[in-house]
Every structure is written in C-alpha cells, then in structure tokens.
C-alpha cells in the first residue's frame, strides 16, 4: 500500500485529489452508487489502485453507528439448495459493501437459533439473514422480536420478519403442468421432508396442479433429499408401474430414481417420464439429461439484500419478495406411449 505525500496511509480525500473529483464522488464509487459516469468511475478506480486505498471500516462504523456486517444463520449446508442460497446471499452482501458472519447450525431447534442470534447481537450486526428451511423457524424468529432487520430466506415472512423465497409451489406446478400437457394422467411425486418449507411447498404445488386438471393425487412417496431415497423409491415404482410420470422433489433424488429404473429395465422417458427440481450443474449430464426446475439463487440473494438494506438504511417495514423459477426441458420427459400420435 502506497503512503501519501504526508507519510500516512492514503485517505478518501487523497483518492479524490488524485482523480480530480470530489470526495463525495469517491464515496459514491466505493459504495457502487449508480449515478456515476463510466469515465469518472474509471478515474476513481485507477486512483484507488495507484494509491492502494482501503476503506477504514472501523472509522466508518463510528460515524454511521453500523458494523457493515450481516449475520447469516444457516443449516443443512450439505444440500444443494441451502448451500447455493448461502452463496447468493453472501455475494449480494459483499456487492453492497457488507461483511458476512456465518453461523451454521448442527441441529435446528429454538435454543440453537437463539444462541446463534445472541452471538450475532454480540457482534453488533446490522441485520440477519436466516437460511434455515424448516417450518418452525419463522415462529421462533417472530417470538424473539429482534432489534435489527431479519430476512427469512425461503419463507414469505410475516409482519415482523421479512421474507425472500423462490416460488416453490409455482415451480412444482410448472413441472406437473408440463407432464399433464404431454398427456400424462398418472403422475406421482417423490417429496422431500415434510418439515422443510421447500418439501411441503413442492408437494402442495404437485397436488394443486393435479386437482386443477381433475386428476388424482394418490401417488405420493416420501424421501429425504438424498439419491439413496430416490433409489429406494425408484425400486418400488419400477415394481408398481402405476405412474407414467414422476415429479421428484430435487435432482439428487431424481438421480437415484434414474439408477433404479435403469437397473429394472424401465426406460426413461419411453416407459416413464421424470422431472426434478433445482437444476444442479450435473443434471444435464444424467442419463438421460434431466428435465428440471431451475432456481435463481443469485437473484434470491439480491432480493434478500435489497429488503435488508431498505430496512437498515431507510427504516422500511418488513416485506416479502418472491423469485419466479424456470422449467428447463431436457430428454427425461415425453408423452406416454398410449398418448403418443
């Protein structure tokens, strides 16, 4: 890091002098304010690089009475969805100029949530993002009535706690309506754990789509998100053969199901169609490539931080936001044989 002509570490004013702009303009560039021209931004960034300027966050905190830190309470990070939600929130926080302090729960209980939140309060975080996808989490947060903004990621929240979520129910309907549109009338569902918000919402979306089309919702199996549970369900379904299509609660369970079908000689999609959920990076390389529902985790992270910053900086009331998922069509779905032209 270069020192100024006065023998001290460079300050914001030194960057302004070097770039030939006001210190307010330098502040706007550092904080990613949109009202700065590309040419001015380039001059300021060049001056920052030349001087080796680093923002003094401690001094800034004394002035603003903010720590520039967001606490992120998370669980189930071995799963694709929660892990990528965490990455999306962390990236959005960093882009907004905030540090992230992460507390990962080994078990989901009110005591564990309370302990983690107390830790965040000791750190004087400016807000808390909660990535704990269990149905009783929101109630626990609501009872705490925390003095900082809280965003429950994966939930719609309530009047006290903000929410940011992907439309899980809508994504499930997309998957099932696609199968109905292909002519399938016996569509089963391998659901995730019922105490997970995502699991229960996707199951409800499956049911709504079927009942809306006048079809039965009696082919429901329970999984645990793992490929192993998908494999076990696939073995049962291969012997049963009542369903011509399956909506599977996530891509990992779909992977196990595809393996079970292959071993049993059940052809996908000739004998049965399969749709997953998540669009994890490997899904396009399954055999066959998996039709699935894609979640935009980066957008979810941005929406979370947008709500958080409005509450931190403008005192906005708790609110909610919903990200729309996308159906990704690949080779694992086709019309049932009896419906084929």
Please write the tens of the pLDDT for every residue from 200-259.
Answer: 999 999 999 999 999 999 999 999 999 999 999 999 999 988 999 999 999 999 999 999
**Overall average pLDDT of the 97-117 stretch:** 91
pLDDT at 145: 87
Query: pLDDT at residue 326 above 90?
Result: yes
Provide the β-strand partners of residue 222: 191
Helices (H), 52-122: 57-64, 80-95, 110-122
* pLDDT band at residue 2 under the 50/70/90 scheme: low
* pLDDT band at residue 341 under the 50/70/90 scheme: very low
Higher pLDDT, 65 or 3: 65
Please write the tens of the pLDDT for every residue from 81-99.
Answer: 999 999 999 999 988 888 9
* pLDDT band at residue 291 under the 50/70/90 scheme: very high
Whole-number Å distance between alpha carbons of 40 and 170: 44
pLDDT at 57: 55
Identify the helix (H) or strand (E) that includes residue 69: strand 69-74
Whole-number Å distance between alpha carbons of 238 and 99: 50
Task: Using alpha carbons, list the distances in angstroms from residue 215 to 188, 207, 297.
Answer: 11, 9, 32
Q: Give the distance between the most distant pair of CA atoms in the chain.
A: 84
* pLDDT band at residue 12 under the 50/70/90 scheme: confident
- Of 233, 223, 227, which Cα lies nearest the Cα of 194? 223
> If DSSP codes are grouped into helix, strand and coil, which group holds residue 287?
coil
pTM for the model stands at 0.81
Higher pLDDT, 140 or 166: 166
Enumerate long-range contacts of 48-54, CB under 8 Å, 24 or more apart: 48/15, 50/2, 50/18, 51/1, 51/2, 51/4, 51/10, 51/14, 51/15, 51/18, 52/1, 52/2, 52/10, 53/10, 53/11, 53/12, 53/14, 53/15, 54/1, 54/9
Query: In the structure encoding, which two tokens stand for residue 17, read together?
Result: 């002098």
**Overall average pLDDT of the 131-142 stretch:** 88
Neighbours of 263 (CB within 10 A): 12
* Residue located via tokens 């645990």: 224
């Amino acid at each position: 890091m270069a020192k100024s002509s006065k023998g001290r570490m460079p300050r914001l004013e030194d960057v302004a002098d070097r770039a030939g702009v006001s210190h307010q303009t330098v502040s706007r560039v550092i904080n990613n304010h949109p009202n700065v021209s590309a040419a001015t931004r380039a001059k300021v960034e060049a001056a920052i690089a030349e001087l080796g300027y680093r923002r003094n966050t401690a001094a800034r905190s004394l002035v603003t009475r903010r720590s520039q830190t967001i606490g992120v309470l998370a669980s189930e990070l071995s799963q694709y969805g929660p892990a990528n939600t965490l990455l999306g929130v962390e990236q959005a926080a960093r882009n907004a100029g905030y540090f992230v302090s992460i507390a990962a729960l080994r078990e989901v209980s009110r005591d564990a949530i309370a302990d983690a939140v107390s830790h965040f309060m000791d750190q004087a975080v400016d807000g808390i993002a909660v990535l704990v996808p269990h149905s009783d989490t929101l109630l626990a947060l609501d009872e705490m009535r925390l003095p900082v903004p809280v965003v429950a990621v994966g939930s719609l929240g309530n009047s006290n706690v903000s929410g940011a979520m992907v439309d899980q129910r809508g994504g499930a309907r997309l998957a099932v309506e696609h199968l109905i549109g292909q002519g399938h009338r016996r569509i089963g569902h391998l659901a995730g754990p019922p105490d997970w918000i995502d699991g229960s919402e996707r199951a409800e979306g499956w049911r709504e789509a079927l009942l809306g089309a006048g079809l039965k919702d009696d082919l429901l199996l329970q999984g645990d998100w793992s490929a192993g549970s998908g494999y076990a369900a696939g073995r049962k379904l291969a012997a049963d053969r009542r369903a011509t299509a399956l909506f599977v609660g996530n891509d990992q369970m779909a992977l196990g199901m595809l393996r079970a079908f292959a071993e049993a000689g059940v052809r996908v999609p000739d004998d049965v169609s399969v749709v997953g959920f998540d669009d994890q990076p490997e899904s396009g390389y399954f055999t066959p490539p998996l039709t699935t529902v894609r979640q935009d985790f980066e957008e979810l992270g941005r929406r979370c931080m947008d709500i958080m910053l409005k509450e931190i900086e403008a005192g906005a009331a708790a609110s909610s936001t919903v990200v729309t998922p996308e159906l990704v069509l690949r080779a694992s779905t086709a019309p049932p044989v009896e419906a084929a032209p």
